[in-house]
A = this chain, B = another copy of it.
Amino acid sequence: MNRIFNFGAGPSTIPLSVLEEAQKELVDYKGEGLSIMEASHRSKMYDEVHTEAMALTRELYSVPEDYDILFLQGGASLQFAMIPMNLSIGGKAQYVDSGSWSSKAIKEAKIQGIDYEIVASSKDTTYDRIPSDIKFDDNADYAYITSNNTIYGTEYHEFPTTKAPLIVDASSDIFSCPIDWSKVDMLFAGAQKNAGPSGLTIVIIKKELVARAGDKVPTMLKYKTHADKDSLFNTPPTFGIYMFNLILHWLKDNGGIEAIQEKNQTKAKLLYDAIDNSNGFYVGHATKESRSFMNVSYNIKNSDGENNSQLESKFAKEATEAGMIGLKGHRSIGGLRASIYNAMTLDGVQALVDFMQKFQKENS
């Protein structure tokens, strides 16, 4: 097999050893005579996977005991609606707008007609940074941030402090670095970047927030429904949770969250250095202080400093031919983007850096 390097933003690369393990036991799970995806969600065979995935999430991510871990569906996009539904209790909700995904979350607060406010935004500078001077009202029903902005390649390196419950959309950087839970009251993510195939949403939420929702919230959209039943109220996405569990094992086998953070920093440094040392041929979208360890968004510039979209297209095309896919930037800002999630290897980033240097020589 000629395995490619997948720099796509999500669904994204999965550790090869995890895929191989899933392949090995896909038809006959541990000699049980059936696939894990055929097993009842009430069976002992599946329950072990489910329970283990919850326990490993708690262990690896150091989740305190007063938080519930939920396995839901619908992606982060459904969380945008569930958050105001469950957590708005007549007060004000406060949001930071750091990009497309924050904007989508804010839109759902608006649709539901709750009292909401944007306390900081970097929209004016094409979301090239995490807004500074974020001041949440300690009395807000909740305060909301997007920890990593997949499209613009920005990431919080420290979370703002507030007495209001802080909600973090960590869809594109979950499990990439340790979390200071004293600052965070709820963290959620679609699985398809750092935690497996799409179709699973992980929600880690303080028990006191779970209890907030009123009687008018539909059963399936209420955190309490799922918390009360260990996410087995209805049939969960069992195969996705199985894959997630394999990934957690891989994380643990490779030293856990601190070790993956170090690896992520090494990978990101390699790539940002290549950009910074290109004499202005490659220019990062994000300001240096706000650079993401997960998504590196950048442009190819003409000598006059303008983006060269023709060369960017050529780059993406030739990179694909060289076995590196998913490097085209998001349609909203164009350019190039390399997503270097937990499962992207250092070899992959090195191959990209080598290709960038070769491409620059040939095209400048």
Contact = CB atoms under 8 A, between A and B. Distances in A.
Contact of A19 (B26, B73, B112): B26
A234 B16 contact: no
B19 A1 contact: no
Given A192-B235, A239-B239, A323-B33, A112 B218 contact: yes
A235 B11 contact: yes
Contacts of A14: 35, 37-38
A216 B4 contact: no
A220 B19 contact: no
Given A237-B198, A239-B198, A11 B37 contact: yes
Contact of A111 (B40, B104, B192, B215): B215
A2 B33 CA distance: 5
Contacts of A160: none
Interface stretch (A76-84, A115-123, A252-260, A352-360): A76-84
A33 B4 contact: yes
A11 B39 contact: yes
A287 interface: no
A201 to B, nearest CB: 9
A8 B111 contact: no
A183 interface: no
A199 B33 contact: no
Interface in A287-345: 323, 325-326
Interface residues of A, number: 72
Contacts of A32: 4
A40 B8 contact: yes
Contacts of A20: 27
Contacts of A28: 1, 3
Interface in A40-68: 40-41, 43
A13 B215 CA distance: 37
A20 B9 CA distance: 29
Contacts of A131: none
A297 to B, nearest CB: 16
A12 interface: yes
Nearest to A74: B73
A217 B307 CA distance: 40
A26 B37 contact: no
B199 A238 contact: yes
A189 to B, nearest CB: 12
Interface in A223-260: 233-240, 243
Contacts of A233: 77
A89 interface: no
Nearest to A8: B40
A220 B4 contact: no
B6 A198 contact: no
Given A19-B35, A28-B1, A37-B11, A81 B219 contact: yes
B326 A40 contact: yes
17 contacts: A1-B28, A3-B34, A4-B33, A10-B40, A11-B235, A19-B27, A20-B27, A74-B78, A77-B219, A78-B221, A80-B218, A81-B220, A85-B218, A111-B216, A111-B219, A112-B218, A198-B235
B34 A235 contact: no
A97 interface: no
A293 to B, nearest CB: 20
